[in-house]
């Protein structure tokens, strides 16, 4: 699953093997749709060595199974954990994020 967001929803992309913009196809009912319930989480003030985590809830509001093939972060201090099995239409799941402050990173 790929979801890129810039200034509008028109840039969101969802795919199983190739990126396809739902806004461009005109047929969003033919794709999985990654709908996020939790869009942000404030970890607050954390100290070096602290490990904090949060589980972002999401739902596949599309009509096809949602397959997340990879999840990554832009730094080594945030570790994502995502469902490895397809998320069926209408099914909810979580994407867990673990944040670690380490002075050696």
CATH 2.60.40 fits 9-100, yes or no: yes
Q: What is the pLDDT of residue 43?
A: 81
Lowest average pLDDT, out of 25-39, 46-60, 83-97, goes to 25-39
Q: What is the pLDDT of residue 79?
A: 87
Q: What is the pLDDT of residue 17?
A: 47
- Model confidence pLDDT, tens digit, residues 42-86: 888 888 888 899 998 999 988 889 998 888 888 778 889 999 999
Could you give the CA distance from residue 51 to residue 43 in angstroms, rounded to a whole number? Answer: 10
Phi-psi region at 24: left, alpha or beta (left = phi > 0; alpha = psi -120 to 50): alpha
43 within 8 A of 54, measured Cβ to Cβ: yes
Delimit the domains of the chain by residue range.
9-100
Could you give the CA distance from residue 27 to residue 46 in angstroms, rounded to a whole number? Answer: 44
Per-residue burial over 68-90, b if 16 or more Cβ lie within 10 Å, else e, is beeeeeeeeeebeebbeebbeee
**CA–CA–CA angle 13, 19, 20 (5° rounding):** 65
């Amino acid at each position: 699953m790929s979801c890129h967001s810039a200034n509008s929803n028109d840039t969101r992309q969802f795919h199983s093997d190739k990126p396809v913009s739902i806004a461009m196809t005109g047929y969003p009912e033919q794709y999985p749709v990654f709908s996020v319930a939790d869009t942000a989480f404030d970890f607050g003030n954390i100290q070096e060595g602290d490990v904090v985590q949060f589980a972002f809830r999401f739902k596949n509001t599309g009509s096809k199974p949602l397959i997340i093939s990879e999840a990554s972060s832009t730094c080594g201090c945030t570790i994502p954990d995502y469902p490895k099995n397809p998320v069926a239409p209408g099914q909810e799941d979580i994407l867990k994020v673990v944040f670690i402050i380490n002075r050696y990173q």
